[in-house]
Amino acid sequence: MAREDFKDVVVRILASGIVAKHSVDTAVSDLLTSKQEITEQLLLETLAQQGLISKWQARSISSGRFKGFIWEQYVILKLYPLAANGFRIAEAYNRKNRSYALIRARSQDGKLQVEWLMPLSDDDESQCLRVSRDAILARSTGETNQ
């Protein structure tokens, strides 16, 4: 990886506010120790494998994005397309009570309004939970399953 490319991805990761500097330093040090060529993609994959960022966050950072990952007490793990009613639906981690939730938010009069919709389990593998999440998403976006 060219030094400028590497510096740029580290700056975006740190600017996002979702990973502490010492965690990025540790990941880089581990990669240097393994004597692999460090690429932007490899660094982001390593952080995702270590559970420090989600795959969605890695893709977003890779594409140049570094803002909007934190809404109030929530760290956004996955963001769904904008709903017709102006809400954004997101899977998020609540930093205050250390739990996962499906939330929705929209900006109104320059202020972000965040609403909790339902809890998510750590692994989110429950069929019932997926059905409930899909129903909430469908309601929020105006889509219906026929």
Q: Are residues 137 and 79 in the same domain?
A: yes
Statement to judge: residues 77 and 111 lie in one domain: yes
Q: pLDDT digit string (tens) for 47-81?
A: 988 888 888 999 999 999 888 888 888 888 888 87
Cα separations in angstroms, 112 against 62, 92, 105: 25, 15, 7
Mean pLDDT by 10 residues, the chain (146 residues): 69 90 89 82 90 90 88 87 80 87 84 84 51 52 44
C-alpha distances in angstroms, 51 versus 8, 44, 100, 113? 21, 11, 14, 28
62, 97, 113: which is the final residue of a domain?
A: 62
Residue 60 exposure: Cα atoms within 13 Å on the Cβ side? 20
Does 137 lie in the same domain as 80? yes
Look at residue 146 and tell me if it is in a domain: no
Q: Using the 3D structure, point to which of 17, 32, 62 is the last residue of a domain.
A: 62
39 shares a domain with 55: yes
- Sign for the CA dihedral angle at 69, 71, 73, 74 comes to negative
- Report the number of distinct structural domains present in the chain: 2
- Residue count (the chain): 146
Share of the chain above pLDDT 90, in %: 11
Do 76 and 136 fall within a single domain?
yes
- How confident is the model at residue 61, as a pLDDT? 92
Provide the domain limits for residue 98. 70-141
Which one of 62, 78, 113 terminates a domain? Answer: 62
For residues 47 and 86, membership in a common domain is answered with no
DSSP tag of 36: P
